[in-house]
Amino acid sequence: MQIWHAGAFSSIVSKAVTAGSVAAPGPGAAETRGSAQVQALGSRAISISENDGQTSPRARFVARHGGVTAFLAPDGFAVLLAGAAGRRVHLAFTFEGASSDVRIEGLETQPGIESWLLGRDASAWRAAVPTFGRVRYHGVYPGVDVDVRDGGGSFEYDVVVGAGANLG
């Protein structure tokens, strides 16, 4: 199995915030660091939890880090960034031509848990929701998985290529 490190969300997000618009990152985007907001996030751990009713049912997992939230759905993931003056930036990442049978799994269970007390109806509250250090998209393409993880203070994704996978 081979792991290709594909990039860091914080780098892409910092470029979008600095530029004030959302554009596809150019070459070298993974090294770009331009936002004080994103840089400040590096001192806190990323929280990845299974969606147990705290957000849209389309998202299977939710990852949070400071003012950045990633929603992990079977066909890709979306990143929402809280910007200055209440402005929000939304980035969407999709797996073009991916299998319709992608399975998403939380890996590396973390010691912390989350509880969601939404609204006044106690039956809708969720307690002791487990948190993870990584989420794996199994079977995005034949022999190819994608991991979304905490990259030491930034959201990162890795493309995991199995032996014998046909990339082309």
pLDDT of 26 reads: 33
Q: What's the rounded mean pLDDT across residues 147-163?
A: 87
Query: Do the Cβ atoms of 133 and 62 come closer than 8 Å?
Result: no
89-93, 103-107, 111-115, 135-139: which range is least confident on average? Answer: 111-115
Q: What is the pTM of this model?
A: 0.70
Instruction: Inform me whether the pLDDT recorded for 159 exceeds 90.
Output: yes
pLDDT in tens, 39-66: 333 445 788 999 988 888 999 999 988 8
The least confident of 7-11, 85-89, 97-101, 162-166 is 7-11
For the CA atoms of 41, 47, 52, 56, the dihedral, rounded to the nearest 10 degrees, stands at 30
Quick one: 140 exposed, middle or buried, by C-beta within 10 A (0-12, 13-18, 19+)?
buried
Segment 126-132 shows an average pLDDT of: 88
Q: Would you state the pLDDT for residue 67?
A: 82
Cα gap 99→83, rounded to integer Å: 34
Calculate mean pLDDT across residues 149-158. 83
Average pLDDT, the chain: 74
